[in-house]
């Protein structure tokens, strides 16, 4: 056998067939692998997309609870809303008057300037109450000037702590089943009402009237000194603790000065978060009623000569600075038919022409806008052009925290964008979060919009330590609790 | 090794390599899908826990007004006046003086307004204590320590709703809730024949929905008497329990720690609490199993404060209409009708503020 005979080879046809079959197998295998990888790639992209959506959802919800976009306790560079005064921000003086020394929503109370501190002897801007028993009757009425207001508040000795819920000053004094109309005012905090140490709520046929004191009862009417009697549409309301001779005199209600201080400290949004619920933010009347209002210094003379209706004393007076910033109504012209006036503004009617108010306001993080604009907008939310509450959507767009959660993603990854907006509309807080992602393959956009309940601004301030970082909370009245931004 | 077997080996290697590639891709895909599923499940639990915050807040708002019917044992439900008594304690004080002939101490006076208080009063109008009365308005709580919260066999906390107590609320579907109804689709043709007994009774022959009465609901026993129907069958429908829960710790008169969770722990804080509640059977007496369940749960802690106010802040407009202070109408479009949200009143009070806690407090 020759060597050739021993070599078992292939014919050309065999080779061609083998190559063809091999190629076919390889093509099929390649296609299978390619399809598998493409499928996996698509699945991966979908997975990343879903993951981005989940991440956005989680970040949005955590932001609802921790407010780190507006104030990050771990990053001093992101704590610009802790400034005490706008003068300290970017060297731009938005407000220069001493009484307009404003804090921003995350200001630490300890950092407030002396005029607004509540340390012993300080006037205390805080939203807490004064002790009117420290004041004489004359002192209550001697509040014509701002300086005097501060002095009086100082004399009242502000409490340095927010009220506990078991403090009677915080309790709702009305009937929970009051009808939803008319006489509800007696069931609300008379925030601007209690300018007297011992007010009386209502008497006889005058439900809801807050009287100066129990000595003003009409002749012949039985009076129990110090015990408040309110008459509602369905009979007498339960007596109230105010002035109960057996209790320490704790006649605390909210006061316009306190609101003003709150505005100075926190701005409108923050003040609303610290007010008692049910706060009455504005009280005013018709022309006939307003004509009876005791003006500053006129009260004693008015009572003496019979021209002043005593029961209205103490209910009415709203500092216009407060009024402008915290109320949202813009339609007084029709409401009062031109006859009304806002108490505290004396003869000036608040109408569309002279009251340019916005009825919502929002918080936003310092971003592309100048800080001066931000502060101006934040501090004075009603100063812009008159708007209607139905147009707030555009404002939401302009006042939203926006963050691109994937700043440098791979080119085939979806883009993710998160927006969180906090606002206040008609006295109600709302939060809106929007998670939007774009599929880079199909260029399709999808978004998830949600609202939710989470930490309020007051809660966020209590999360933050007075001296930096996060505050630890172990329990009520636990001495290990870290002092928070709310503690001096 | 001959050539034929060598070629077979090559083919085998190629095939195995291709198979390995495909298997790797498949496994990667499955693993990724599994991870995504796990992530989604966690997000689902987180979302469910946040939903529990709503439930917890609603519970705090409602229960002090709806009241309880367990402690006083008189077979009746006692409504309450809120976590702090809005009446301010004046009547308590007056009665205390009448009954005891002296002024209350500061501590006694401070306890008067602590709610929730019963709608009923066990004293006569003259301040004379009736049977069971203690000189003040009935309260729906008792400060006595009756629960074992740490499993040491000793009572260390009072029963809900006293200050320092805990309400645990695992979610489940009842077999038949109290006063259950069924959406029974019932055609109600209008009879047009005056001789028909149903003539003139459109839509009333077959009311819909119907009380779930006389038949079983979701596997429960049928209610055949009013008492059965009104009481319901409150045991959990199998498969519906062990998902989400909240618990409320009352740390002050109107301040609470609300813990929200999603998982199978039924809201028990830890194993000692399970022991204290003698609820080991829920977890097959297996501490390890319980701790695994807890490790896989989402738990969120919130601190909240309740306010007795029944409305939010609002720019209210009040004026003098000639005879009384009221919401101003002046014969013109009035405040309330123009801004209807001004009349939205809830009966449960208001949550004054909310604070998410970064770490669990000592007591919750």
Confidence of residue A428 (pLDDT cuts 50, 70, 90): low
**What's the mean pLDDT in B93-112?**
68
The lowest-confidence range among A267-271, A324-328, A388-392, B258-262 is A388-392
Report the residue from A285, A289, A463 with minimal CB separation from B355.
Answer: A463
Q: Is the model more confident about B174 or about B221?
A: B174
Domain for residue A481, yes or no?
A: no
Calpha distance A235→B263 (Å, rounded): 51
**Tens digit of each residue's pLDDT (9 = 90 or more) over A211-231:** 333 333 333 334 444 333 333
Q: Is residue A36 situated within a structural domain? A: no
Do both A308 and A376 map to the same domain? no
| Whether the predicted pLDDT of A32 surpasses 70 | yes
pLDDT number for residue A113? 55
Q: How far is CA A250 from the centre of its chain?
A: 27
* Alpha helices (runs of H) in A200-319, residue ranges in sequence order: 256-274, 287-290, 299-305
B88 contacts on A by Cβ (under 8 Å): 168, 171, 173, 238-241, 244
Using the Cβ of A256 and the Cβ atoms of chain B, whether some distance falls under 8 Å is answered with no
A247 in the same domain as A150: yes
User: Is the model more confident about B8 or about A145?
Assistant: B8
Q: Are A286 and B319 in contact (CB < 8 Å)?
A: yes
| Angle (CA) B13 B14 B20, round 5° | 85
Q: What is the pLDDT of residue A399?
A: 40
**A192 CB-side CA count, 13 A:** 26
Range of the domain at A424: 54-77+361-454
Q: Which of B23-27, B114-118, B209-213, B258-262 has the lowest mean pLDDT?
A: B209-213
Nearest-Cα residue of chain A relative to residue B94: A246
- Residue B118's Cβ-count burial label (10 Å; 0-12, 13-18, 19+) is buried
Domain check: are A222 and A113 in the same one?
yes
Q: Determine contact, residues A152/A132, Cβ cutoff 8 Å.
A: no
pLDDT at position A442 over 70: yes
Mark which residues 32-91 of A lie under 8 Å from B by CB: 32-33, 36-37, 39-40, 43-44, 47, 50-51, 54, 57-58, 61, 65-66
**Statement: residue B116 has pLDDT above 80:** yes
For residue A150, is it within any domain? yes
**Whole-angstrom distance, CA of residue B268 vs CA of residue B167:** 10
| Predicted confidence (pLDDT) per residue in B148-159, tens digit | 999 999 999 999
pLDDT mean across residues, chain B: 77
Q: Which long-range contacts (CB under 8 A, 24 or more apart) does A75-84 make?
A: A76/A468, A79/A106, A80/A104, A80/A366, A80/A371, A81/A105, A81/A106, A81/A107, A81/A365, A81/A366, A82/A106, A82/A107, A82/A108, A82/A111, A82/A485, A83/A107, A84/A111, A84/A112, A84/A113
- Strand, helix or coil at A269? helix
pLDDT in tens, B131-144: 555 555 677 888 88
pLDDT at B168 over 80: yes
Q: Pick from A339, A355, A371: which residue ends a domain? A: A355
The chain A residue lying nearest B314, using CA atoms, is A427
B190 versus A208: which is more confidently predicted?
B190
Query: Does residue A267 share a domain with residue A371?
Result: no
The pTM assigned to this predicted structure is: 0.71
Contact A165 B36 (CB under 8 A): no
Residue A330 has pLDDT above 80, yes or no: no
Based on the domain organization, do A333 and A276 belong to the same domain? yes
pLDDT at B158: 93
Nearest CA of chain B to the CA of A370: how many Å?
Answer: 30
Question: Do A114 and A186 lie in a common domain?
Answer: yes
Question: Within this chain, do residues A312 and A418 fall inside the same structural domain, yes or no?
Answer: no
User: A271 and A297 share a domain?
Assistant: yes
Is B259 a residue whose pLDDT tops 80? Answer: yes
Tokens at residue A205, please? 């046929």
Nearest by CB to A427, from B22, B315, B330: name it: B315
* Long-range CB contacts for residues A94-98, cutoff 8 Å, separation at least 24: A94/A372, A94/A375, A94/A376, A94/A379, A95/A379
Q: In sequence order, which residues have a C-beta less than 8 Å from that of residue A17 and are 6 or more positions away?
A: none
In this prediction, residue B114 carries a pLDDT of 77
Per-residue confidence (pLDDT) for residue B27, from 0 to 100: 86
8 Å CB contact between A327 and A280: no
Predicted local confidence at residue B109, as pLDDT: 63
> Is the Cβ pair B252, A328 closer than 8 Å?
no
Residue A369 shares a structural domain with residue A264: no
pLDDT at B14: 83
Confidence of residue B196 (pLDDT cuts 50, 70, 90): confident
Q: What is the pLDDT of residue B152?
A: 92
How far is A153 from A140, CA to CA, in rounded Å?
10
Based on the fold, state whether residues A165 and A221 are members of the same structural domain: yes
Burial profile A199-215: b = 16 or more Cβ within 10 angstroms, e = fewer: bbbbbeebbbbbbbbbe
Structural domains of chain A, count = 2
Do A114 and A235 fall within a single domain? yes
Please give the distance of CA B325 from its chain centroid, rounded to a whole number: 39
Dump pLDDT digits (tens) for A246-256. 222 223 344 44
In a domain, A145, yes or no: yes
- Looking at residues B184-188, what average pLDDT do you find? 73
Q: Are B348 and B57 in contact (CB under 8 A)?
A: no
| CB atoms closer than 10 angstroms to residue B57 | 22
Count of alpha carbons within 13 angstroms of residue A111, beta-carbon side: 21
SS3 B301: strand
Q: What is the pLDDT of residue B291?
A: 94
Region of residue B322 (left: phi > 0; alpha: psi -120 to 50; beta: else): left
Residue A295 has pLDDT above 50, yes or no: no
Phi, psi of A44 (to 5 degrees): -65, -40
pLDDT at position A99:
44
Provide mean pLDDT across the span B322-351: 47
A vs B: CB pairs below 8 A: 288
Rounded to whole angstroms, the Cα distance separating B237 from A178 reads 40
Residues 251-310 of B with CB under 8 A from A: 251-255, 302-303, 305-310
Would the CA dihedral through A29, A30, A31, A32 be positive or negative? positive
Which of these three, A355, A390, A421, is where a domain ends? A355
Work out the percent of chain A whose per-residue pLDDT is above 70.
Answer: 30
* CA distances for A404 relative to A120, A367, A409, B175, angstroms: 47, 13, 10, 47
Band (B310; pLDDT cuts 50, 70, 90): low
Residue B93 contacts A, CB cutoff 8 Å:
yes
Judged against a pLDDT cut of 80, whether residue B125 lies above it is answered with: no
For chain B, give every domain's residue range.
68-139, 172-241
pLDDT category, B88, cuts 50, 70, 90?
A: low
Contact between A170 and A250 under an 8 Å Cβ cutoff? The reply is: no
pLDDT band at A438 (very low <50, low <70, confident <90, very high): confident
pLDDT surpasses 70 at A488: no
Task: Say whether pLDDT at B147 is over 60.
Answer: yes
- Percentage of chain B beyond pLDDT 70 is 71
Q: Is the pLDDT of residue B166 over 90?
A: yes
Interface pTM, i.e. ipTM: 0.80
| Whether the Cβ atoms of residue A218 and residue A224 lie closer than 8 Å to each other | no
Could you report the per-residue pLDDT of A96-133, keeping only the tens digit for each? 444 444 566 787 877 765 444 433 332 333 333 333 33
pLDDT at B276: 94
What are the distances in angstroms from CA A224 to CA A203, A229, A244, A245, A402? Answer: 11, 9, 10, 10, 60
Contacts of B107 (CB under 8 A, 6+ apart): none
Same domain, A184 and A134: yes
CA gap B211, A384 in Å, rounded: 57
**Two tokens at B248?**
């409320």
Q: What is the pLDDT of residue A377?
A: 40
């Amino acid at each position: 056998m020759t060597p050739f005979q021993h070599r078992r080879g292939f014919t050309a046809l065999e080779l061609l067939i083998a190559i063809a079959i091999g190629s076919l197998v390889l093509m099929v295998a390649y296609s299978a692998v390619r399809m598998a990888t493409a499928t996996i790639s698509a699945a991966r992209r979908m997975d990343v997309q879903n993951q981005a959506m989940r991440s956005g959802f989680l970040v949005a919800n955590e932001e609802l609870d921790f407010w780190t976009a507006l104030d990050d306790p771990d990053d001093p560079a992101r704590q610009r809303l802790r400034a005490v005064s706008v003068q300290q921000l970017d060297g731009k003086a938005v407000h220069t008057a001493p009484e307009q020394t404003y804090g921003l929503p995350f200001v630490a109370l300890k950092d407030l300037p002396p005029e607004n501190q509540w340390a012993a002897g300080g006037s205390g801007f805080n939203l807490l109450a004064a002790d009117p028993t420290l004041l004489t009757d004359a002192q209550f009425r001697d509040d014509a000037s701002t300086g005097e207001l501060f002095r009086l508040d100082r004399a009242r000795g502000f409490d340095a702590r927010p009220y506990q819920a078991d403090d009677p000053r915080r309790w709702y004094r009305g009937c929970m089943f009051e009808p939803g109309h008319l006489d509800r005012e007696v069931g609300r905090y008379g925030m601007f009402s209690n300018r007297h140490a011992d007010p009386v709520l209502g008497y006889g046929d005058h439900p809801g009237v807050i009287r100066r004191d129990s000595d003003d009862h009409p002749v012949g009417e039985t009076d129990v000194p110090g015990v408040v009697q309110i008459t509602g549409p369905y009979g007498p309301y339960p007596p109230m603790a105010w002035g109960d001779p057996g209790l320490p005199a704790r006649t605390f209600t909210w006061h316009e000065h306190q609101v003003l201080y709150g505005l100075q400290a926190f701005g409108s949004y923050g003040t609303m978060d610290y007010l008692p619920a049910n706060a009455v933010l504005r009280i005013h009347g018709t022309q006939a009623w307003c004509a009876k209002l005791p003006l500053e210094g006129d009260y004693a003379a008015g009572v003496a000569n019979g021209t002043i209706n005593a029961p209205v004393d103490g209910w009415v007076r709203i500092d216009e600075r407060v009024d402008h910033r915290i109320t949202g109504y813009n339609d007084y012209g029709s409401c009062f038919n031109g006859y009304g006036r806002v108490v505290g503004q004396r003869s000036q009617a608040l109408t569309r022409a002279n009251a340019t108010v916005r009825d919502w306001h929002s918080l936003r993080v310092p971003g592309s806008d100048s800080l001066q604009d931000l502060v101006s907008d934040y501090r004075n939310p009603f100063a812009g052009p008159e708007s209607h509450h139905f147009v707030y959507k555009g404002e939401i767009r302009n006042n939203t925290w926006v963050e691109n959660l994937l700043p440098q993603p791979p080119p085939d990854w979806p883009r993710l964008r998160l927006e969180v907006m906090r606002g206040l509309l008609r006295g109600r807080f709302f939060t809106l979060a929007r998670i939007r992602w774009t599929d880079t393959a199909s260029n399709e956009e999808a978004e998830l919009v949600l609202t939710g309940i989470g930490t309020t601004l007051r809660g966020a301030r209590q999360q933050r330590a007075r001296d930096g970082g996060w505050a630890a909370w172990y329990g009520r009245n636990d001495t290990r609790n870290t002092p928070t931004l709310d503690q001096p | 090794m001959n050539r034929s077997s060598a070629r077979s080996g090559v083919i085998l290697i190629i095939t195995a390599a291709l198979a390995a590639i495909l298997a790797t891709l498949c496994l990667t895909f499955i693993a990724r899908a599994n991870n995504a599923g796990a992530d989604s499940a966690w997000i689902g639990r987180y979302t469910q826990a946040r939903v529990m915050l709503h439930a917890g807040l609603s519970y705090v708002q409602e229960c002090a007004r709806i009241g309880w019917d367990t402690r006083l044992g008189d077979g009746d439900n006692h409504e309450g006046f809120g976590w702090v008594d809005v009446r301010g304690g004046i009547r308590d004080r007056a009665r205390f003086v009448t009954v005891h002939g002296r002024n209350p101490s500061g501590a006694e006076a401070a306890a008067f307004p602590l709610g929730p208080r019963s709608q009923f009063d066990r004293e006569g109008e003259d301040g004379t204590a009736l049977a069971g009365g203690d000189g003040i308005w009935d309260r729906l709580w008792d400060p006595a320590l009756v629960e074992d919260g740490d499993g040491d066999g000793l009572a260390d906390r009072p029963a809900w709703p006293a200050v320092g107590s805990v309400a645990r609320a695992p979610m489940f579907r009842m077999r038949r809730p109290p006063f259950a109804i069924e959406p029974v689709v019932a055609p109600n043709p209008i009879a047009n024949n005056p001789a028909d007994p149903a003539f003139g009774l459109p839509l009333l022959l077959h009311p819909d929905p119907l009380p779930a009465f006389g038949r079983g609901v979701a596997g429960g026993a049928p209610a055949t008497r009013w008492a059965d129907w009104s009481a319901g069958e409150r045991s959990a429908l199998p498969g519906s329990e062990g998902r989400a829960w909240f618990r409320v710790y009352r740390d002050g008169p109107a301040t609470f720690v609300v813990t929200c969770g999603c998982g199978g722990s039924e809201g028990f804080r830890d194993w000692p609490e399970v022991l204290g509640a003698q609820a080991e059977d829920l977890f097959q007496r297996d501490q390890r199993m319980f701790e695994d369940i807890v490790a896989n749960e989402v738990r969120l802690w919130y601190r909240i404060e309740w306010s007795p106010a029944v409305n939010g802040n609002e720019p209210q407009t009040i004026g003098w209409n000639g005879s009384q202070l009221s919401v101003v109408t002046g014969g013109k479009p009035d405040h309330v009708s123009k801004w209807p949200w001004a009349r939205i009143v809830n009966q449960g009070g208001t949550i004054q503020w909310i604070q998410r806690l970064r770490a669990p407090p000592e007591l919750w």
